[in-house]
Structure 1
Amino acid sequence: MDLERFVGDCIAANNGPHPQAAVLEVLAKAIHNPSAMLTAVGEPREAGIKVLHRSKSLTILSAAWTPQMNLMPHNHLMWANIGIYTGREDNILWRETPDRIEAFGAKALFAGDAVSLPVDVIHSVTNPLLRFTGGIHIYGGDFFDTTRSQWDPETLKKEPSDGASIRRMFELENKRMRGRDKL
């Protein structure tokens, strides 16, 4: 697995007439051999995101979830493709109601799986395993320059999502892992 070539192939696919489907095809091919992608990006050792590419039209990340990590419901406001190269990612799909959001579906992704999420999706993510999960997340836009929303995990009330709140969540997860390792 050559990460530079993978990123280049995603960029080229994104310039076609059906970018999400074309990029998903590139991702699915790369994730088909999850151990090769794992070798290319490295074994996850902490929660976080590693930016592989960022432009106005495409963001490619390697994301790692700690064991049993939960990410509150959130939106992207752009299409997303997710491919898992190690572990498992459980997604709950949500829809907005006048007062909050309600769950309406779920999807479990295993190593080697790749899936598309539409522009308007709201989802939460859980790593149910006692080991790290790693995935490639590709977004049809500049993920870091888009004002998004998240929903409080207890009340399911909508609130703004920003980089600081996400960084804090990753920091807390890594702190939790360091404490767990001392046991």
Structure 2
Amino acid sequence: MSSDHVADHALVREGFWVFGYGSLMWNPGFEFAERHPAVLMDYARSFCMWSIHHRGSPEVPGLVLALDAEPGAACHGLAFRIGPEVAAQALADLRDRELVSSAYLERVVTLRLSDGRDVAALAYVVDPEHVQYTGPLSLERQAEVIAGACGGRGPNCDYLFSTAEHLAELGMEDIELTQLSDMVRRRLKI
């Protein structure tokens, strides 16, 4: 087991929470026992990772969202509780999906649920030392990349649009993602 992975035995035996802040919110890909709006402090959601698999290619990289450490920031998303009966398969599926390259690090973070509880949860955060980490990019540059990239899971713009729309539907609109969506639609004339 890599040092970047959380100990499997407790997760599988007891079940676990996982934080969705991008596509996990609208396409979790696992069975869950509970789902709650949640906030993760000191991290920001941003298009700060090159995608060479799911939403881009090595030749034409796309961008995907990642959690980037930022003191004082608050990232709104969804917390999913995965029960012990499906935990082993869910954990394997999450790792296959999120750890396709070593650009994400699996971490245990503390989430504040909408009902006031604090829970320990898995989260996939960007490794700022990894070659796929972009650092800050202007919205204009993000729009340019997202409008032109496509990967194994489809057009990069679909990922952006779905995430922005689901956040808005959940009452967690991310103004920057909404602005970026508008910029990409104008570029694509849709």
Instruction: State the TM-score bracket (shorter-chain normalisation).
Output: under 0.3
Query: TM-score, structure 1 length as denominator?
Result: 0.27
